[in-house]
């Protein structure tokens, strides 16, 4: 768990699940892992996933608005070519060839 010294903790509402779901959950716990720690870890992962989703959708919306304002668009081939070139430059930089 992730606690910060001096920080008060809060509880989340209890959730009711079918016995089969609880059995499945308990069957996948690692040694020493508790239901609470599994749920906290899963919750943190879900929050991060949602944040990434929200960021992705916001970028898509901005791109759509930019297209609607300017009418400028790129073909799939143009996008892929730009991504490949960017990847190649990054590889060269990492390998020390882009100095």
Do residues 25 and 38 lie in contact, with contact meaning Cβ atoms separated by under 8 Å? yes
Write phi, then psi, for 34 (nearest 5 degrees).
Answer: -105, 165
Whole-number pLDDT of residue 71: 96
Q: Indicate whether 55 belongs to any domain.
A: yes
In a domain, 20, yes or no: no
**Taking the mean position of all CA atoms in its chain, how far away is CA 94?**
25
**What is this structure's pTM?**
0.67
pLDDT at residue 9, as a whole number: 86
Kindly state whether residue 85 falls inside one of the protein's structural domains.
Answer: yes
pLDDT digit string (tens) for the chain, length 99 residues: 555 666 778 999 999 999 999 999 999 999 999 999 999 999 999 999 999 999 999 999 999 999 999 999 999 999 999 999 999 999 999 998 755
Domain enclosing residue 77, as ranges: 33-95
Q: Rounded to a whole number, what is the largest CA-CA distance in the chain?
A: 61
Q: How many structural domains compose the chain? A: 1
Residue 11 belongs to a domain: no
Has residue 25 been placed in a domain? no
Q: What pLDDT is attached to residue 96?
A: 87
Whole-angstrom CA distances from 89 to 67, 84, 93 are 27, 9, 6
Residue 18 counted as domain residue: no
26 close to 35: Cβ distance less than 8 angstroms: yes
> pLDDT value at position 99?
53
């Amino acid at each position: 768990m992730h606690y910060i010294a001096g920080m008060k903790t809060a509880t989340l509402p209890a959730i009711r699940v079918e016995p089969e779901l609880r059995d499945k959950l308990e069957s996948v716990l690692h040694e020493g892992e508790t239901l609470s720690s599994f749920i906290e870890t899963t919750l943190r992962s879900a929050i991060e996933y949602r944040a990434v989703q929200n960021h992705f959708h916001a970028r898509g919306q901005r791109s759509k608005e930019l297209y609607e304002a300017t009418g400028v668009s790129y073909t799939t081939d143009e996008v892929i070519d730009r991504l490949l070139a960017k990847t190649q430059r990054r590889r060269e930089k990492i390998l020390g060839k882009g100095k």
